[in-house]
Amino acid sequence: MEQLKLQLKEQIIDALNLEDMTPADIEDAAPLFGEGLGLDSIDALELIMILDKQYGIKFADKQASKAALASIDAMAAYVTEHRTK
């Protein structure tokens, strides 16, 4: 799971052009939106595209995507459970 978390962090940094950040700067349990990393709804769409393209994950509804994108821990758990690639 640690490898997956590192991979997710690297994908987020690349996709969102967070050039001044490293994976170590992103805490696993910290919120990705709001007070945590400070991502917004446009960033959420990018994350959804990453999960679809890299792991074959499609979200059925907004609540599922909101819960899955809450933190790196949440994303890794969701990917582990729902990946098709």
Domains and CATH numbers, the chain: 2-82 (1.10.1200.10)
Count of alpha carbons within 13 Å of 77, Cβ hemisphere only? 12
> Could you count the other beta carbons within 10 Å of the beta carbon of residue 8?
23
Q: What is the distance between the alpha carbons of residues 23 and 12, in angstroms, rounded to a whole number?
A: 9
Q: What is the pLDDT of residues 23-38, one digit of tens each?
A: 999 999 999 998 888 9
Q: How far is CA 56 from the centre of its chain?
A: 14
Q: What is the distance between the alpha carbons of residues 44 and 33, in angstroms, rounded to a whole number?
A: 9
Q: What is the pLDDT of residues 9-26, one digit of tens each?
A: 999 999 999 989 999 999
